[in-house]
Amino acid sequence: MSAPAGLTGRAGLGRFAVVWAGQLVSVIGSALTAFVLGVWVYLGTGSVTTFVLIQFCAVVPGILLAPYAGAVADRYDRKRIMLVADVGAGVVTALLLVAVSTDSLAVWQVYVATALTATLNSFHIIAYTALVPALVPKEHLGRINGLMQITQGVQIAAPLVAGALLGLVGLRGVLLVDFGSMLFAVGALLLARLPDGAVRPAGASDGERAGIGAGLRWLRGAPGLFALCAVFAVWNFLFAVAGGLVQPLVLSFSSPATLGVLMAAGGSGLFAGGLVMGVWGGPRRRVHGIYAGVALGGVFLVLHSLAPSPWLIGIAAPAFLFTLPLINTCCVTLLQTKVDPAVLGRVLAVVRMIGTAAMPVAFLLIGPLTDGVAEPLMAVDGPLAGGVGALIGTGEGRGIALIFLVVGVLMLALAACAWTRPRLRTVDDLPDAVADETPSPERTLG
């Protein structure tokens, strides 16, 4: 099936650039707010549990609402969905700003605001990702998806900027910056004149295909892509375990100031990976990029465990995060080129739901696994002190290092296991649902 009417060449890329720039600025503002609100909650309560609940509020709505977000993205104007999501996020920020200005901000309000923002973001990201292949020529999809990964690097590096802003302008000032970034994003979307076929693909609401289960049914008919979802579910679980423990790992042997520098370094790796993918676009066989990224990620996670050294983390963390744009770009481009455009939103939603469903489980396991199992095993006189301890050391924080070692090995095993599955190795050979060239539009929407 051919892609719906879209734009070709410089016209499509230019209009996408307007949208991308607006969304990048908005992500920066949102990341700054998320960081300073977390700091405000932790400093005000002193409770790690209270702080971690923010993570749950940020993750769970996206998992629960993804199928509905996909159905909405396939049935309604995707540009308007993004506008509503951006404006809604701005309203949430404005309400927080009022609470801060009147000195009435409470922890429960932060939870509600985080959940609302996560809900809006779920609808936004699926509509945004589904819009791209109808707007950008297929030969540029890999590069464009690579550039979209830069937003993740910005989010990880945000704490360094947010910490400085918090000291200069306070929580109220950061919220004002976030609100301004939302206005910029909305303005960019309003300026971008997008083709009809990009914002609302033809045939998306015909008969059975209108249901939210259409995405799952389509994936079941493409076994290679469905198996890829399972790989990503395992990978996201392992990533969540490592991501949730990297800060405690660094703080076990270094200062908070060093942690901030290392987080910025990690963000630079993700940012650099996005730039590289933006220029390169990824390998011709996308699945090879996925396998390579997962395997290299496992190697770099193992390196995290070898010594309590900021210099080692300063190398391993950016290298690990460099692999994320490679993996994500190849996966998203595969989906955008292989999936019927009429159900693309719902398929993306199912992939997002399956891929992230295990992350809350990982967050729940981190505490008991670390404090109740790994740390006692790696104590100076622990059961593994004379074995694994000879390799990675013993004492405080070495239990966390043990988890990094195990997670890294499991990630390598995941790459090896995936490679043995013929349907996964040949997923690039599935027929394309996107044409090599998209015809020029007869009319556009303002």
- Structure confidence by residue, pLDDT tens digits, 45-74: 766 567 767 877 888 888 888 888 998 998
> Quick one: pLDDT band at residue 159, thresholds 50, 70, 90?
low
Alpha-carbon span 253 to 33, nearest angstrom: 28
Note the pLDDT tens digit of each residue in 298-332.
999 999 999 999 999 999 999 999 999 999 999 99
Question: What pLDDT does residue 101 have?
Answer: 92
Report which of 340, 334, 332, 338 is spatially closest to residue 126, judged by C-alpha positions. 332
Exposed, middle or buried, 64 (CB in 10 Å: 0-12/13-18/19+)? middle
**Region for residue 207 given its phi and psi (left: phi exceeds 0; alpha: psi -120 to 50; beta: otherwise):** left
Alpha-carbon span 392 to 182, nearest angstrom: 46
Alpha-carbon span 275 to 94, nearest angstrom: 33
Question: What pLDDT does residue 211 have?
Answer: 60
Note the pLDDT tens digit of each residue in 200-210.
765 554 444 45
Q: Quick one: what percent of the chain has pLDDT higher than 70?
A: 88
> Quick one: pLDDT band at residue 103, thresholds 50, 70, 90?
very high
Q: Are 191 and 308 in contact (CB under 8 A)?
A: no
Alpha-carbon span 221 to 122, nearest angstrom: 25
3-state per-residue secondary structure call for 154-189: HHHHHHHHHHHHHHHHHHHHHHHHHHHHHHHHHHHH
Question: What pLDDT does residue 38 have?
Answer: 80
Question: What pLDDT does residue 237 have?
Answer: 93
Q: Are 149 and 329 in contact (CB under 8 A)?
A: yes
Given 3-state DSSP classes, what are the helix, strand and coil percentages for the chain, each rounded to the nearest 5?
80, 0, 20
Question: What pLDDT does residue 156 have?
Answer: 66
The helix or strand, by DSSP H or E, that contains position 20, with its residue range, turns out to be helix 9-45
Amino acid letter, residue 435: A
Both tokens of 93, joined, read: 């920020």
Q: How many helices (H) and strands (E) does the chain have?
A: 18, 2
| Cβ burial 98-129 (10 Å sphere, 16+ → b, else e) | ebbeeeebebeebbebbbbbbbbbbbbbbbbb
Report which of 100, 138, 102, 155 is spatially closest to residue 13, judged by C-alpha positions. 138
> Quick one: pLDDT band at residue 3, thresholds 50, 70, 90?
very low
Domains and CATH numbers, the chain: 1-201 (1.20.1250.20), 209-429 (1.20.1250.20)
Question: What pLDDT does residue 311 have?
Answer: 95
- In which residue are the tokens 């977000």 written? 69
Which of helix, strand or coil describes residue 283? coil
- In which residue are the tokens 């990029």 written? 289
Residue 77 scores a pLDDT above 80: yes
Q: Are 61 and 89 in contact (CB under 8 A)?
A: no
Q: Are 348 and 129 in contact (CB under 8 A)?
A: yes
Alpha-carbon span 3 to 109, nearest angstrom: 43
Residues 6+ apart with CB under 8 A from 35: 158, 159, 162, 163
Residue 390 scores a pLDDT above 90: yes
What value does the mean pLDDT take over residues 119-142?
Answer: 88
Please tell me what DSSP assigns to residue 147: H
Note the pLDDT tens digit of each residue in 224-269.
899 999 999 999 999 988 988 887 888 888 886 787 788 778 878 8
User: Of the given ranges (178-187, 252-261, 379-388), which has the lowest mean pLDDT?
Assistant: 252-261
Give this prediction's pTM.
0.82
Q: Are 282 and 326 in contact (CB under 8 A)?
A: yes
- In which residue are the tokens 């006692």 written? 376
Both tokens of 57, joined, read: 């509020």
Alpha-carbon span 329 to 142, nearest angstrom: 6
Q: Are 59 and 356 in contact (CB under 8 A)?
A: yes
Alpha-carbon span 262 to 253, nearest angstrom: 13
